[in-house]
Amino acid sequence: MGLLDGKKGVIFGIANDRSYAYFITQALLREGAECAYTYMPMGKMEHRVRKAVEGLGVSDPWLEPCDASSDESLDEVFDKLKNSEQFGELDFIVHSIAFADKDYLKPDMFHKTPRQVFTQAMDVSAYTLLGMSQRALPLMPNGGSIMNMSYYGGEKVIPGYNVMGVAKACLEHTTRYLAYELGDQGRNVRVNSISAGPFKTLAGAGVGGMDEMIAHQERKSSLKRANTGEEVGNTAVYLLSDMSSGVTGETVHVDCGFSIVGL
């Protein structure tokens, strides 16, 4: 018996087998979930995502392109889900995507951020949660659970995290406003955020000083180590399963107790 037996959902954000979304998927599949997947339509992404998902033992995955910064692309992917036999009704959504121009993810660059870089970071990293949720809602007649990925740089200043930190603050508060409305009027859809520690992924590599951020967590966190992808995956299982049925609008820190330490 798995904690997610009979539950179906969509994963946004696998780029390769280092992505947080990859570890989340691994844990969801272990617990019996059925997952649909999307990839960012650029370069060799389709091939990379397919390879990663197949590496998790899924043959012939439901895999479609989605650039979440485009309403048309979001409409298309949710229409395909709605019309598919397997994913016409959903129980969960995993939002594990973010983007900001890496030229501005360096110390002393926040105050130089141009309008276009700022709005793009907010759009891709925060608004897309709302864009996905409003389209997922009609496919969740029996309620559901939506989760996203944040970072401590949305609560405190982490030099170099810059505009992405501002976008994470927006993402976490978008989570709370969505949780309030989507929990109401019999909708019973929960929305939560995982705030995970720094992790070497494609997106992570774009943030200046990633090695130092990881070393800092290893030195200063309560557990004196970096968190693993598996630990984030297991927390996703909790948030997407009925084990967390009374939890919504929360940001759960999976950072080995880094964020509770002041000095």
Ligand X SMILES: NC(=O)c1ccc[n+]([C@@H]2O[C@H](COP(=O)([O-])OP(=O)(O)OC[C@H]3O[C@@H](n4cnc5c(N)ncnc54)[C@H](O)[C@@H]3O)[C@@H](O)[C@H]2O)c1
Which chain residues interact with ligand X by CB under 6 A? 13-15, 19-21, 40, 66-69, 96-99, 124, 149-151, 196, 198-199, 201-204
User: Minimum distance between the CB of residue 19 and ligand X, rounded to whole angstroms?
Assistant: 3
Determine the Cα–Cα distance for residues 195 and 151; give it in Å rounded to an integer.
5
Min separation Cβ 42 and ligand X, Å:
8
> What's the gap between Cα 249 and its chain centre?
15
DSSP letters along 31-75, please? TT-EEEEEE-SSTTHHHHHHHHHHHTT-SS--EEE--TT-HHHHH
Distance between CA atoms of 59 and 259, rounded to whole angstroms? 39
Tell me the three-class secondary structure of 90-137, residue by residue: CCEEEECCCCCCHHHCCCCCHHHCCHHHHHHHHHHHHHHHHHHHHHHH
**Helix, strand, coil percentages for the chain (3-state, nearest 5):** 45, 15, 40
Question: Smallest gap, in angstroms, from Cβ of residue 130 to ligand X?
Answer: 14
List residues with catalytic annotation: 151, 161
Nearer to ligand X (CB atom), residue 21 or residue 136: 21
Q: Do residues 99 and 105 touch, judged by C-beta distance below 8 A?
A: no
Q: Which is nearer to ligand X, 153 or 249 (CB)?
A: 153
The nearest distance, CB 202 to ligand X, in angstroms, is 3
Q: Which is nearer to ligand X, 14 or 163 (CB)?
A: 14
**CB neighbour class for 183 (10 Å; exposed up to 12, middle 13-18, buried from 19):** middle
Instruction: Output 163 or 245, the one with its CB closest to ligand X.
Output: 163
Cα–Cα dist 43/46, whole Å: 8
One-character DSSP codes across 224-252:
SSPPPHHHHHHHHHHHHSGGGTT--S-EE
Residue 15 C-beta: closest distance to ligand X, Å:
3
